[in-house]
């Protein structure tokens, strides 16, 4: 074998080795690219999932905040409505005919006299003539006098002679008692 044949063999062997190295390199590059694409896809999927969780969390927070704001507005509206009903009720009671007020005082004053044996009866200016009449008519009320008019819608406030005991029989006090005990029921009926 001549020198040319040996050189040809070496060249051929070199070309085969270069081709093998190139094929191996391309396979390695391809494998690295595929792994990189898989990692990129995983990273992208994780980022999408995290973004979706963040979006859902933000949406939930916004919905909760909106629901809370609506609930607060509803409660404020209900409170305003109940307050108007309370005030209208008191005004309607105060606006009842004089006979109704007189009958109420005829019932309330003896009840107060049972607890206080003598003292001063306070009422609004409208009811002073009625209270004077009741005090004059009822022998159980002879130890009572009438005081200066006070700012109440109706009923009376009875104070013992020594000032240590006071019985508030005003319409507002009765309404507050009924209002507090029936507020939940009224609210349930008005705002189901």
55-76 pLDDT, tens digit each: 999 999 999 999 999 989 988 8
Segment 5-30 mean pLDDT: 81
pLDDT bin (cut points 50, 70, 90) of residue 18 is confident
Hey, which residues does 144 pair with through a beta bridge? 119
- CA 184 – CA 192 distance, rounded (Å): 11
- CA 124 – CA 96 distance, rounded (Å): 14
- CA 144 – CA 162 distance, rounded (Å): 12
- CA 41 – CA 47 distance, rounded (Å): 10
Vertex 182 angle, CA 176 and 188, to 5°: 135
State residue 167 phi and psi, 5-degree precision. Answer: -115, 120
Q: Is the pLDDT of residue 191 over 70?
A: no
Residue in 153, 147, 186, 189 with CA at minimum distance from that of residue 170 = 153
**Regarding predicted confidence, which is higher, 21 or 56?**
56
The three-class DSSP label of residue 161 is coil
Segment 97-112 mean pLDDT: 91
Q: What percent of the chain has pLDDT above 90?
A: 39
pLDDT bin (cut points 50, 70, 90) of residue 152 is very high
- CA 152 – CA 166 distance, rounded (Å): 15
Residues in contact with 155: Cβ distance below 8 Å, sequence separation at least 6, in sequence order: 104, 105, 108, 123, 169, 170, 171, 172, 173, 174
pLDDT bin (cut points 50, 70, 90) of residue 109 is very high
State residue 153 phi and psi, 5-degree precision. Answer: -75, -25
Q: What is the pLDDT of residue 151?
A: 92
pLDDT bin (cut points 50, 70, 90) of residue 29 is confident
Q: Is the pLDDT of residue 122 over 60?
A: yes
**Which pair of structure tokens corresponds to residue 153?**
């819608």
Q: Is the pLDDT of residue 1 over 60?
A: no
């Amino acid at each position: 074998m001549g020198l040319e044949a040996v050189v040809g063999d070496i060249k051929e062997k070199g070309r085969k080795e270069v081709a093998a190295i190139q094929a191996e390199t391309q396979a390695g590059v391809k494998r690295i690219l595929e792994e990189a694409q898989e990692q990129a896809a995983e990273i992208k999927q994780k980022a999408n999932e995290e973004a979706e969780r963040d979006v859902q969390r933000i949406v939930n927070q916004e919905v909760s905040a909106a629901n809370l704001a609506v609930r607060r507005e509803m409660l404020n509206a209900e409170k305003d409505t109940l307050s108007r009903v309370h005030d209208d009720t008191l005004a309607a009671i105060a606006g009842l005919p004089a006979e109704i007020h007189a009958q109420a005082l005829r019932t309330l004053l003896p009840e107060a006299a049972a607890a206080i044996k003598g003292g001063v009866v306070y009422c609004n200016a409208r009811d002073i003539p009625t209270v004077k009449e009741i005090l004059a008519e009822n022998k159980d009320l002879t130890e009572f006098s009438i005081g200066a008019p006070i700012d109440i819608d109706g009923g009376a406030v009875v104070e013992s002679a020594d000032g240590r005991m006071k019985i508030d029989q005003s319409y507002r006090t009765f309404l507050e008692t009924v209002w507090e005990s029936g507020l939940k029921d009224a609210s349930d009926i008005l705002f189901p």
